[in-house]
Structure 1
Amino acid sequence: MAGDAVEACMDAYYRAFREADIERMMDLWADRPDIVCIHPGSPRAHRGTAEVMESWLLVFSRELNIGIEPRIVGRFETDDSLGMVIEEAITRPGDVAPTGTILISQTWRRVDGGWRLAFHHASHGRRADPSPEGMLVAGGGSQTRH
């Protein structure tokens, strides 16, 4: 059952995201003043249903012509909550392989027998795996670039 809930939540989230369907996306969220959503590069946290909806409308207004391959890298589940850490491999038009990563943590709460998002935090991860040679500064011994 645990895996079923996680998979169902992920499927519903990515369907709403890929279709840029604001109604479907907002149906996933708990209708509470304490929900929080943070998007990659966002200057602030969006709190409450109205702000969260506005933030998704902005995301969906942009061209979302990207490939997304999500992979769960961590999870927990209790009777009334579940959490996931997701790593998304991002492929943009013209790329032959993923060139970016988005890191996401989500917390879902059981509400009226169904699962609803309470927290969503997404941030940029690495762009591409650096080569071992690219990790060292030329002539700099063992100093790494950061």
Structure 2
Amino acid sequence: MAREVLVRHRAFYDAVESGDVDLMASLWVDSPSVTCVHPGAEALEGTETVLRSWTLLMANVEYIQFFLTDVQVAWPLGPDADLAVVTCTENILSGEGTESPEQFAGGKAVCTSVLVRSGGDWRFCSRHASPVLDIDPEAPQEPGMTDPA
């Protein structure tokens, strides 16, 4: 069962990377309670609003690729339930914000996706991605900040 969830989870990234709006639409539950939080943005509610945000993102990003690490599936209601939570780290390679098509920018986000079994298929009902800041341990700290180590 974890394999089925992970296949659907990967299909989400395939949809973004290829700009496949139809595939993206097929991966989400159709409900006003669907939620999505893009890194650094406010929460979006409802399937139509969430899909519109992904359509705009895919239309405005020339190149994006995700390398997923730390992928884990949890079963909060037990392994036979119709609810799975997938967490991962998204290592993102993109051409956005660069001056040349030969240049790439990178970023990292931690993501939690909640999938439910609906009509025999696993579908997203919630997704939240938060940026991971790359903090230089050698950088001078602001006054009043303490080293957590």
TM-score tier by shorter-chain length is 0.7 to 0.9
Q: Is the 8 A contact 1:72 1:84 kept in 2?
A: no
The residue number in structure 2 matching 1:41 is: 40
Match of 1:110, as an amino acid? Answer: R
After superposition, the Cα gap between the structure-2 partners of 1:60 and 1:112, relative to the gap in structure 1 and judged at 3 Å, is same
Return the alpha-carbon distance in structure 1 between the equivalents of residues 58 and 50 of structure 2.
12
**Distance in 1 separating the partners of 2:24 and 2:51:** 9
Q: CA deviation at 1:76?
A: 0.7
Q: How many residues align?
A: 136
* Counterpart residue number, 2:52: 54
Report the residue type matching 1:70 in the other structure.
L
User: Paired residue for 1:91, among 90, 93, 101?
Assistant: 93
Residue 30 of structure 1: how far off its partner (Å): 0.5
Q: Deviations over 1:65-98 (max 9, x none)?
A: 2332112444212320110111111234435xx8
C-alpha deviations, 1:98-134, integer Å up to 9, x for none? 84211111000001111010001112112x352x322
Partner of 1:105: 112
Question: What are the equivalent positions in structure 2 for 1:52-91 lying under 5 Å apart?
Answer: 52-77=50-75, 78=79, 79-91=81-93
Contact 2:32/2:46, CA 8 A, preserved across alignment: yes
C-alpha spacing 1:129/1:91, structure 2 compared with 1 (3 Å) = farther
TM-score scaled to structure 2, two decimals? 0.78
Q: Which moved more, 1:28-37 or 1:63-72?
A: 63-72
- Please state how far the C-alpha of 1:143 moved relative to its aligned partner: 3.5
- Counterparts of 1:26 and 1:57, CA distance in 2: 9
Letter in 2 for 1:115: W
Structure 2 unaligned regions, length at least 5: 96-102
Q: Is the 8 A contact 1:86 1:103 kept in 2?
A: yes
Shift in Å, 1:41: 2.3
Contact 2:17 2:64 in 1 (8 A): no
Name the structure 2 match of 1:123.
130
TM-aligned CA distance change 1:23 to 1:111, over 3 Å: same
Partner of 1:21: 20
